[in-house]
Amino acid sequence: KVCLNHVVTKINYVDKANVVVTARDTANGNQDIDIRCDAVVVALPIGVLQSKSVEFDPPLPKQKKDAIHGLGSALMNKIVMVFENRFWGDDDDGLGGWTYASKTRGKFRMWIAPERNEPVLMCLLPPDYAKISEDLSDEELQSEALSVLQSCFPASRSIRVTHFYRSRWGKDPFSRGTWTYIPVGSHPDIIDALAEPIDGRLFFAGECTSRTDFSTVHGAFDSGKRAGEEMLALY
């Protein structure tokens, strides 16, 4: 059974017989419901684990908590702009593009034209400016992006933006960041500690639990297979 619009707030594994997951039903007056399980796969992003928005009872072991707070949660945002017409060259299509140097580190640094012959541009916003961008409205962010493009491509001044899309991964309560990294002073062994099951009832997945492929989609996918196999070996 898939429960949509249910936000997990607590995972109780005190009872050796089962695990109780408490979730807030946002579609029905934010009522709390308890879901009883034999075991649970915890696939929360590292930023969510660090925020402690999900309570564990009993608290996670020290080694697990040290691993969670020993890892870093990176932030990168993205904007996508659709124009009436193209104003850049064909050589910039596909994985091509250009970089922009700003006095503000990372501000609209990397532009990519992802679709050949389409009037679409995507810009990656690295950590420094990604955080700043999350406090800007759509209108403010679009205006700043246009000013950069117009300084590089004067022809763009007469071309209208038809659609504007953006991410706010840092402010997303279900992400609180984009991917995991290992900070200076930490060791990859803490990823193994985070991936370690607890009492054969709590299993951990997500790119933050993949020692070889953290920060990637395939790392997240493979970790889910690994956690599922660990569970199936016991149930």
Task: Tell me whether residue 142 is in a domain.
Answer: yes
Q: What's the whole-number average pLDDT of the chain?
A: 93
d(CA 232, CA 235): 5
User: Is beta strand 6-12 parallel, antiparallel or unpaired with respect to 55-57?
Assistant: parallel
Give the pLDDT of residue 129.
92
More reliable by pLDDT, 190 or 106: 190
Decide if 94 is inside a domain.
yes
Q: What pLDDT sits at residue 170? A: 97
Does residue 40 fall inside a structural domain? yes
pLDDT reading at 139 higher than 80:
yes
Residues 42 and 105 in one domain: no
Confidence of residue 10 (pLDDT cuts 50, 70, 90): very high
Q: Based on the fold, state whether residues 87 and 104 are members of the same structural domain.
A: yes
Angle at 130 between CA 127 and CA 133, to 5 degrees: 155
Asked whether residue 190 is domain-assigned, the answer is yes
The answer to whether residue 175 sits within a structural domain is no
Write a three-state SS string for the chain.
CCCCCEEEEEEECCCCCCEEEEEEECCCCCEEEEEEECCEEECCCHHHHHHCCCEEECCCCHHHHHHHHHCEEECCEEEEEEECCCCCCHHHECCCEEECCCCCCCCCCEEEECCCCCCEEEEEECHHHHHHHCCCCHHHHHHHHHHHHHHHCHHHHHCCEEEEEECCCCCCCCCCCCEEECCCCCCCHHHHHHHCCECCCEEECCHHHCCCCCCCHHHHHHHHHHHHHHHHCCC
Residues 81 and 143 in one domain: yes
Same domain, 68 and 90: no
- Asked if 206 and 158 sit in the same domain, the reply is no
Identify the pLDDT of residue 104. 80
- Our count of domains for the chain comes to 2
In this structure, of 47-51, 105-109, 136-140, 166-170, the range with the lowest mean pLDDT score is 105-109
Question: 51 and 93: one domain?
Answer: no
Q: Are residues 129 and 50 in the same domain?
A: no
Question: Is position 171 within any domain?
Answer: no
Q: What is the CATH number of the domain that holds 45?
A: 3.50.50.60
| 161 within some domain | yes
pTM confidence score? 0.89
What's the CA gap between 106 and 129, in Å, rounded? 6
Question: Domain range for residue 111?
Answer: 76-166
